[in-house]
Structure 1
Amino acid sequence: MMIFVNNGAGGYKFLEHATWNGLYIGDLVFPCFIWIMGFCIPIAITSQLSRGVSRLIICKNIIKRSCFLFLLGICLNTLGTDSQLENIRIFGVLQRFGVAYLVVGIIYAFLSKKKTKIYEHGLLAQINDCTSLLPQWIFIMSILILHCIITFCLTVPGCPKGYIGPGGLHENGKYFNCTGGFAGYIDRIVLGVNHTYQRPIIDTIYKSGPFDPEGILGCLTTIFQTFLGVQAGKILRVYKTWKGRVIRWIMFAAIYSCIGCILHFGNYIPVNKNLWSMSFVFISTAIALTLLTLCYLLVDVVEMWNGGPFRIPGMNALVMYMGHQICYQIFPFHWKFGTMNSHMWQTIAALWNVGLWTIIAYALHRKRIYISL
């Protein structure tokens, strides 16, 4: 889906990204990746802790992987450019993965016990998955509160307090230089305008100028979403029966969706991928949890499906992502026929690209080649 969307999604608007507020199918890909990364953290780190691996060694590996992700992201940002140091975009997709993994991974590694205490009776027995993460929850909630204070309580010069609109020509240009509120302001101050994304979607509509949808402030709510993945992963470890796991996942999905809908439809905090708003986090996490539950039931419980053809490309996700970015304008991955002004031809071209990378993934799998950090 990621490759399909990045190749134009057949020109279908509902499969692409929302301009500002709102949620299209293409907006769900990135948060699902973020969330599932968090889901894997308790599985991997708890296993290392139980084997007696030092917390310092675990954190060292986390820092190393995060730095590599950040560096690879910066490298991808220079594709199609002359790599002028004064203008290189600093943040991006892999960079956000790196930041979120760094913070959540270290928090989990330092605050988790080698053996989780399981309560057998009483109220605590019903929330073992939450109580085992209580220190981490306190830390993460403080990050979320910090995000709210920065977003809605601090003032951006020349802009109303708490403004989270697209700026530019929006509302007749009333808040022209206020794009993204404090999220845009902190990127301009800390990173500099030249080091942010120069061609955001909102610029084509509102003439808002440079704005980074993967900027600094959104990292805080991305960290929160990663931790929601940790919570779901903890359920997998704490509850041993498939019914116990499914009930908890569905319950959390319902809670997240209710919170997200209240925030969005109550017009408190609209769903917005560009700002990685709290409502966006809750709604996309609820969808990710629901999809995981369905896959778990089909693959592990009733055994009606083995995950193909998605499982194999997922085993080389970094290769798939970087490869399709690097080869974006190279034949045979990318081609045009005529004006390409019909959905049919655009869809064929996008599916062709997806198909080629799927074949590559299967070829790598057959040779037992897996590239990861």
Structure 2
Amino acid sequence: MTNISKQRLLSLDTLRGFDMFWIIGGDILFKALGQQTNWSWADALARNMDHATWEGFYGFDLIFPLFMFISGVAIPYALFSQLEKGVTTKALYPKILKRACILIILGMVYNGGLNFDFENLRIASVLGQIGLAYLIAALIAIHFRKCNAIVFWIIGILIGYAILQLVVPVPEYGAGILTPEGSINSYIDRMLLPGKLYGTVFDPEGLLCIVSAAAITLMGTLAGLILRSDHFTPYKKVLLFVITGLGLIIIALVLNNWYPIIKSIWTSTFNLLTGGISFVLLAIFYLIIDVWNYQKWTFFFRVIGLNSIAIYMAVAMVHFQATSDFLFSGFASFFGDFKLVILALGLIIIEWLFLYFLYKKNIFIKI
């Protein structure tokens, strides 16, 4: 069998593209299908295309942590390969810090930073959390490069974070009050985070959430270390990922009875659940694409995954939906109740063609 451990993994780009697909219109498409058909699978998907209000978990809650897991998988490929070539850890600091700073700035731009209304600007952001969690995970990873050490860091962060949320008292509320107003996350964000908070009294990308999110990024790093290792056959890697993933999911669901799964404050149980699902998804994509070499179908998703930051920012700056309405409204009117489905497909097609243009021009925005 061909040694694929150190080659670029098509499965990783495909999984990233699959993840981004739901952000750029996949959710709208399946919501429309669920509304306009009696298909049980479409209705089930449609009901999962929203975030949980507070406690609980929907499929759409996986999108963000899965992306962070994938960014963690890339750490051994992007950084460890340089260390193996003789680059010092200190020489990597500027690169890691630069990436974090750029993502923080882009996150503020995404939130409306170019309006220069800094008093009402939301400083916390999805991109900022990705950048800072990556910064924490990357610094840990380049100093502790063994799987065992990474596992200890993951466990330490998850347990330490759980202790903070469950044991440390919040003034006027007490300890273990996991509500929007009473959680330790909310209290710290109100005290220390400048600008506007997403949830008025809390922010799902707040300061403590960044620390928690570093754990799932490190889970990805652990997966990346295993993928690059020559000590396991591809099938053993798949088996390891499936066992690990299912184990994390079971632990999360058991603990959920006492320590609820809450995305908005990134409880450790949320990390365990989404990390477990991410391991299983990586196993499936890796097995099909890189081990069994079924790769032709991946092109659609790889075009998205190779320019994930570009499309994330473009969606904020370009009204793709208006273009879809302009081009496809007339055509969609022939489909009666399915008009919204056709317009959602049009939106995805236009966004994908934009990314395909970048792909053909060999333009890839990497940070």
Same topology, TM > 0.5: yes
Query: In structure 2, how many angstroms separate the alpha carbons of the residues matched to 1:10 and 1:346?
Result: 9
Are the aligned partners of 1:156 and 1:182 in contact in 2 as well (CA < 8 Å)?
yes
Residue 273 (1) aligns with residue 263 (2): yes
Structure-1 residue corresponding to 2:38: none
Structure-2 residue corresponding to 1:44: 78
Query: In structure 1, how many angstroms separate the alpha carbons of the residues matched to 2:57 and 2:26?
Result: 14
Query: How many angstroms does 1:107 deviate by?
Result: 1.2
Are the aligned partners of 1:256 and 1:282 in contact in 2 as well (CA < 8 Å)?
yes
Structure-2 residue corresponding to 1:91: 124
Are the aligned partners of 1:10 and 1:343 in contact in 2 as well (CA < 8 Å)?
no
Residue 163 (1) aligns with residue 177 (2): yes
The one-character-per-residue Cα deviations of 1:43-62 (angstroms, maximum 9, x if unpaired) are: 22111111111211112100
Tell me how large the CA RMSD over aligned residues is. Answer: 2.6
Give the secondary structure class of the aligned counterpart of 1:23.
coil
Query: How many angstroms does 1:233 deviate by?
Result: 1.0
Within a 5 Å distance, the mapping from 1:338-353 to structure 2 comes to 344-353=338-347
Within a 5 Å distance, the mapping from 1:49-68 to structure 2 comes to 49-68=83-102
Query: How many angstroms does 1:299 deviate by?
Result: 1.2
Structure-1 residue corresponding to 2:104: 70
Query: In structure 2, how many angstroms separate the alpha carbons of the residues matched to 1:289 and 1:31?
Result: 12
Query: In structure 1, how many angstroms separate the alpha carbons of the residues matched to 2:123 and 2:202?
Result: 12
Are the aligned partners of 1:9 and 1:346 in contact in 2 as well (CA < 8 Å)?
no
User: For residue 354 of structure 1, what is the amino acid of its counterpart?
Assistant: I
TM-score (norm 2): 0.81
Give the secondary structure class of the aligned counterpart of 1:331.
helix
Structure-2 residue corresponding to 1:228: 219
Give the secondary structure class of the aligned counterpart of 2:322.
coil
Query: In structure 2, how many angstroms separate the alpha carbons of the residues matched to 1:8 and 1:159?
Result: 42
Structure-2 residue corresponding to 1:116: none
Q: How many residues in Structure 1 have an aligned counterpart in Structure 2?
A: 326
Structure-2 residue corresponding to 1:107: 140
- Structure 1: which 4+ aligned runs deviate by more than 6 Å? 334-338
Are the aligned partners of 1:10 and 1:344 in contact in 2 as well (CA < 8 Å)?
no
Query: How many angstroms does 1:148 deviate by?
Result: 2.0
User: For residue 310 of structure 1, what is the amino acid of its counterpart?
Assistant: F
Query: How many angstroms does 1:346 deviate by?
Result: 4.4
Structure-2 residue corresponding to 1:303: 293
Pair 1:83–1:70, CA change in 2 (3 A): same
Query: In structure 1, how many angstroms separate the alpha carbons of the residues matched to 2:325 and 2:258?
Result: 42
Pair 1:211–1:31, CA change in 2 (3 A): same
Structure 1, 142-151 or 283-292: larger mean CA deviation = 142-151
Pair 1:325–1:9, CA change in 2 (3 A): farther
Give the secondary structure class of the aligned counterpart of 2:105.
helix
Query: In structure 1, how many angstroms separate the alpha carbons of the residues matched to 2:62 and 2:249?
Result: 14
Structure-2 residue corresponding to 1:315: 306
Query: In structure 2, how many angstroms separate the alpha carbons of the residues matched to 1:251 and 1:69?
Result: 33
TM-score (norm 1): 0.80
Query: How many angstroms does 1:256 deviate by?
Result: 0.8
Structure-2 residue corresponding to 1:189: 191
Higher relative contact order (CA 8 A, sep 6+): 2
The one-character-per-residue Cα deviations of 1:301-343 (angstroms, maximum 9, x if unpaired) are: 22223312101110111111111122247731577979xxx98
Structure-1 residue corresponding to 2:239: 247
Residue 259 (1) aligns with residue 251 (2): yes
Give percent identity, aligned residues only.
31
Residue 293 (1) aligns with residue 283 (2): yes
Query: How many angstroms does 1:347 deviate by?
Result: 4.0
Pair 1:323–1:283, CA change in 2 (3 A): same
The one-character-per-residue Cα deviations of 1:213-265 (angstroms, maximum 9, x if unpaired) are: 1111111220111111111111112244211211111111121111111112x
User: For residue 260 of structure 2, what is the amino acid of its counterpart?
Assistant: P
